[in-house]
Amino acid sequence: MKKPLFTLLLLCLFQFVFSQQIGFEKVLNQFLNQPEYKHASVGINIIDLESGKQVYALNSEKLMVPASTLKLVTSAATLELLGADYRFETKVGFTGQIDENKLNGNLAVIGGGDPALGSEYFKDHYFNPHFLDVWVDKIIETGIEEVSGDLILDISLYDSKKIPPTWIWEDMGNYFGAGASALTIFDNLFRITFRSSRIAGRLTEIINIEPAVGGINLENEVVSANIKYDRAYVFGSPLDKKRVIRGSIPKNRRAFTIKASVPEPELLLGNQLQQRLLKKGIKILGEVKVKEIPQEKFHPVFIQYSPELAEIVEVLNHESVNLFAEHLVKQVAAEIKGTGSRDEGIKIIKGFWDMNGIHKEDWFMEDGSGLSHFNAVPPKLLTKVLSYMYKQSLHKQEFVNSLAKTGEGTLIYWDRERFPGESLKVKSGSMTRVRCYAGYLVPDSGKTIAFSLMVNHFSGSHTKLIRHIEELFYQLKTEF
C-alpha cells in the first residue's frame, strides 16, 4: 500500500509544480503578446539558489544589451578583487623646501582615483567639515604662507581616456556621461540654471552655473515648451570646453536646473583649492597646472581617505551612478597593473569571472557602467554572477545590500505591499528601447531565486513595460 501512496504523492507534487509554471508562463505570454513587444528580443533566466537548478529560461544564452545591469558584473568583481573595506587615497603635499614661511617649490595634489571626492552622495564624509578646508588647514600647519611655484594636480594614476570610445554623442555631455579622472570632484558635474518665457517656443536664458567651471563656453539653444519635465541635452566632449545645450524645458520657470558633465574636473578642483587658500592668505605665485609629480620629491602633509568601497558600491547600484562604475574599472587596473587603464581593467574583470566559470569569450564588455550600446551579455551570465556572490563570496552581505528594494533607488515606484521588506533586491538598467532587471527574489515559499530579465528593442513606453515586469515578478513571488 505504501508504494501506490508514494506514487500518488509524487504525481500530485508534479501536477502542482507544473500548474504553477503554467501560471507564470501564461502571464509571461500575455506580456510578450502585447503589440509593443512583438519584435523585441526578450531573455530570461531564473535559478533556485538553494539547489542551483534552473527554474525557467528563455533565450538565456543569447547576447543582449544589459544597460546598467552590467554594474553588477563590475561592482561584484571589484568587491572581490579589492575588498569591501578598500579606500581610495588622495594625497596633498608639496615639492621643494619651506624657508621662512615661503615654499620654494610647488603645492601638489596627487589623485588616487576617488570617485566620491566631494560627492553629493557622501555629504557627511566630505562636508562636515568641508574637505577642501581641511586640506587648507593642513597646509597652514606646515607654516606655508606663500608658494613660489605652482599648484600641481597629478592625475597620472589613470590614463588620459576619460570616457569609453563607444559612448554616444548624446550622452557624454550630460551628467550621466561624466568621465573618470584620477582627481574626480563633485561627481564631475555642474548645474546650469535657466529662466524660461511664459510663452512656449521662446529661447531660454542661462542665469547661473554652479560650481563655476573656468573657461567653459556654453551655447544655449534650449527653448520653453508646454511640458512639465526636462528635455534638454548637453552636447560636448571631455576633450574640449564647448558645450551646446539643445532641447526644451517647461515654460514660465524662474529657475529650472539641469546637470552637465565637467570636461576637466582636476582643474575645477585646483581652482577651488586655490580660492580657499587665497581666502586664508596663502598666495600661489605660479599657476594651476596638470602634470606628474616625481614621488621621490613629494612631501605629503595629508591623505584624504574615501568611504569604504562597500559604501561606494551601495550608492553605485542603488542610484546607478555611471561615474562610480567607470572608476572601479580603472582602479582595479591601477592596483594590479600600476596604471588605471579601462582596457586593462576590463581584461582583469573578465579574467576574474572566467576563473569562476563565466567564459570571457561568451560576452562583450566595453565599459563598467553599461552606458555603452556595444556591451552584450546573456541573461544567464548575470544569474551566474548573482549566484556566485550569494553562495561563494565573503562580501555577500555588502553586495546584496547594494541592490535596491521596492520603494527606493531605481525601484522607487514599485509596490512595497507586493514586495515587502527585502523580498525583492534588484539592479535595473535602462536606455532607449532597453529595459533590464537582475537580482534576488524571495517567493512566498521562502526559497531564494536569482533572476535576470532583459528586454531589448521594444516600442512603447518604459512606464508600461515596468508595470508588465512588476506583474511578472509578482507572479513569480506567489507561485514558486
What pLDDT does residue 345 have? Answer: 98
**Degrees (nearest 5) of the Cα angle 43, 24, 423?**
85
Residue 185 has, within 13 A of its CA and on its CB side, a CA count of: 25
> Which residues, at least 6 apart from 175, have a Cβ–Cβ distance to it below 8 Å?
187, 189, 259, 260, 261
Provide the percentage of residues in the chain whose pLDDT is more than 90.
Answer: 88
Q: 377 - beta bridge partners?
A: 64
DSSP string over 54-110: EEEEESTTS-B--GGGHHHHHHHHHHHHH-TT---EEEEEEEEEEETTEEEEEEEEE
Higher confidence at residue 13 or residue 424?
424
Parallel, antiparallel or unpaired: strands 449-456 and 434-441 = antiparallel
Contact between residue 21 and residue 13 where contact means Cβ atoms under 8 Å apart? no
The answer to whether 74 and 235 are in contact (CB under 8 A) is: no
Tell me the pLDDT tens digit for each residue of 63-99: 999 999 999 999 999 999 999 999 999 999 999 999 9
The rounded distance, in Å, linking the Cα atoms of 81 and 69 is 19
Say yes or no to pLDDT of 154 above 80: yes
Distances (CA, A) of 369 to 157, 295, 332, 435: 20, 32, 14, 15
Q: What is the mean pLDDT of residues 290-319?
A: 97
Range from 6-15, 99-108, 401-410 carrying the lowest mean pLDDT = 6-15
**Residues β-bridged to residue 306:** none
Residue 8 has pLDDT above 70, yes or no: no
Which domains, and CATH codes, for the chain?
22-84+310-479 (3.40.710.10), 89-159+265-307 (3.50.80.20), 169-261 (no CATH)
Q: Which of 86-95, 175-184, 321-330, 403-412 has the lowest mean pLDDT?
A: 403-412
Q: What's the rounded Cα separation, in Å, for the pair 469 and 406? A: 13
What tens digit of pLDDT does each residue of 188-204 get? 999 999 999 999 999 99
User: For residue 2, is pLDDT > 70?
Assistant: no
pLDDT at site 4: 53
Residue 283, helix vs strand vs coil: strand
Residue 430 and residue 442: Cα distance in Å, rounded? 24
Q: Rounded to the nearest 5 degrees, what angle is found at the Cα of 110, between the Cα atoms of 163 and 217? A: 45
Rounded Cα distance between 80 and 349, Å, is 10
Q: How far is CA 351 from CA 74, 81, 332, in A?
A: 12, 11, 12
How many CB atoms neighbour CB 428 within 10 A?
A: 24
Proportion of the chain above pLDDT 70, given as a percent: 95
> What residues contact residue 341 under an 8 Å CB cut-off, 6+ apart?
158, 159, 161, 330, 333
How sure is the predictor about 215, in pLDDT bands with cuts at 50, 70 and 90? confident
Give the residue with greater pLDDT, 323 vs 16.
Answer: 323
Residues in the chain: 480
Residues in Cβ contact with 432 at an 8 Å cutoff, skipping those fewer than 6 apart = none
* pLDDT for position 479: 85
Give φ, ψ of 459 to 5 degrees: -105, 175
> Given phi > 0 = left and psi -120 to 50 = alpha, else beta, which region is 317?
alpha
Is residue 186 scored above 60 in pLDDT?
yes
Neighbours of 253 (CB within 10 A): 16
Tell me the pLDDT of the chain averaged across its residues.
93
Number of other CB atoms surrounding residue 240 within 10 Å: 11
Tens digit of pLDDT for each residue in 336-392?
A: 999 999 999 999 999 999 999 999 999 999 999 999 999 999 999 999 999 999 999
Distance separating alpha carbons of residues 80 and 54, to the nearest angstrom: 25
> 146-147 and 102-110: which strand pairing?
parallel
pLDDT band at 128 (very low <50, low <70, confident <90, very high): very high
Amino acid 179 reads G
Contact 470, 15 (CB under 8 A): no
Q: What is the mean pLDDT of residues 3-23?
A: 47
Strand bridging mode 424-431 / 434-441: antiparallel
Looking at residue 10, its pLDDT comes to: 42
* CA–CA distance, 451 with 365 (Å, rounded to integer): 20
Q: Whole-angstrom Cα distance, residue 367 to residue 330? A: 10
* pLDDT at site 7: 45
Q: Is the pTM of this model over 0.85?
A: yes
Q: Nearest to residue 192, comparing CAs of 202, 203, 181, 204?
A: 204
3 state DSSP class of 412: coil
Q: List the strands of the sheet with 54-58, edge to edge.
A: 54-58, 41-48, 449-456, 434-441, 424-431, 404-405
Radius of gyration, alpha carbons of the chain? 26
Under a CB-based contact definition with an 8 Å cutoff, are residues 453 and 439 in contact?
A: no
Q: Under 8 Å CB-to-CB from 38, ≥6 apart: which residues?
A: none
In whole angstroms, give the CA distance from residue 274 to residue 279.
Answer: 9
* Gap between the Cα atoms of 295 and 182, Å rounded: 16
